[in-house]
């Protein structure tokens, strides 16, 4: 159902973190290109955030997770704070590219576009325990750190505007009564809330049930388009 939506570079980085370092990344102690090493450290940071949370994520844990020595992070990133910002930026870019690709693949039909955006949100490459946990770790610190604030909401202004536009179009073609802004806000908030459930719910909420809930919303809000 979702296969056609899935992109892109995330496959490489995910595989790298799941199966330790492959042969493609040079083994421990050997040199690797700057970008590869930085990505490796960023992936190790996401691992640590997911496993230990923001407060317990240490430079030593990141270095150990990457199979490298203690001082290496301060060489590639100047400080712990800059490592975390780079990690957040990486996740933001990935999410952003992901929904834009999904939107592009949907074609011209607004109903189809909205459906694809919702599907994209629950795609395995984006929506897995590890990355959701990392997102939540950043969200928990965003309010007190202005630097995080802009990046920490993966669904940014642009994303929200696309939702509003789609809801406006659907309202006209379907003759619905609601305010597009309000429905768009309800919809994107629900998607974020479902993400929250997916990580905190013990097991009662799965990607499937979350997707069902999102589709139930679409069917209720746009009965002429999704029935």
Binding site for DNA (CB under 7 A): 28-32, 34, 37, 56-60, 68-76, 78-81
- Closest distance between DNA and the C-beta of residue 42, in Å? 14
Could you give the CA distance from residue 197 to residue 219 in angstroms, rounded to a whole number?
21
Nearer to DNA, 76 or 171 (CB): 76
> ∠188-134-87 over CA atoms, to 5°?
105
- Closest distance between a copy of itself and the C-beta of residue 175, in Å? 13
Nearer to a copy of itself, 116 or 217 (CB): 217
Helices (H), 106-179: 110-121, 129-142, 146-152, 157-174
- Closest distance between a copy of itself and the C-beta of residue 24, in Å? 30
Could you give the CA distance from residue 97 to residue 89 in angstroms, rounded to a whole number?
12
User: Is residue 216 a contact residue for a copy of itself (CB under 8 A)?
Assistant: yes
- Closest distance between DNA and the C-beta of residue 27, in Å? 10
Retrieve residue 56's tokens. 């317990």
The sign of the dihedral angle between the CA atoms of 152, 66, 35, 21 is: negative
Could you give the CA distance from residue 81 to residue 72 in angstroms, rounded to a whole number?
15
Q: How far is CA 191 from the centre of its chain?
A: 12
Please list every residue from 135 through 194 that binds a copy of itself, using CB under 8 A. 136-145, 149, 152-153, 157, 176-179, 181-183, 185-186, 188-194
- Closest distance between DNA and the C-beta of residue 38, in Å? 9
Q: How far is CA 104 from the centre of its chain?
A: 18
Interface residues toward a copy of itself, by CB under 8 A = 50-56, 133, 136-145, 149, 152-153, 157, 176-179, 181-183, 185-186, 188-194, 196-197, 199-202, 204-205, 209-210, 212-217, 219-221
């Amino acid at each position: 159902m979702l296969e056609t939506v899935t992109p892109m570079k995330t496959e490489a980085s995910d595989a790298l973190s799941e199966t330790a370092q492959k042969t493609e990344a040079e083994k421990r102690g050997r040199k690797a290109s700057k970008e590869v090493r930085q990505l490796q450290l960023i992936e190790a940071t996401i691992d640590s955030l997911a496993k230990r949370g923001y407060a317990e994520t240490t430079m030593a844990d990141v270095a150990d997770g990457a199979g490298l020595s203690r001082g290496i992070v301060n060489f590639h990133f100047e400080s712990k704070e800059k490592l975390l910002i780079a990690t957040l930026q990486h996740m933001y870019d990935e999410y952003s590219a992901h929904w834009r690709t999904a939107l592009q693949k949907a074609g011209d039909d607004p109903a189809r576009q909205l459906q694809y955006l919702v599907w994209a949100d629950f795609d395995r490459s984006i929506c897995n325990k590890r990355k959701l946990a990392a997102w939540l770790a950043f969200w928990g610190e965003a309010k007190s750190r202005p630097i995080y604030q802009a990046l920490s909401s993966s669904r940014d202004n642009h994303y929200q505007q696309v939702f509003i536009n789609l809801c406006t179009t659907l309202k006209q073609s379907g003759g619905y009564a609601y305010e597009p802004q309000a429905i768009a806000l309800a919809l994107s908030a629900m998607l974020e809330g479902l993400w929250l459930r997916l990580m905190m719910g013990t097991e009662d909420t799965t990607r499937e049930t979350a997707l069902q809930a999102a589709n139930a919303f679409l069917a209720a809000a746009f009965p002429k388009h999704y029935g």
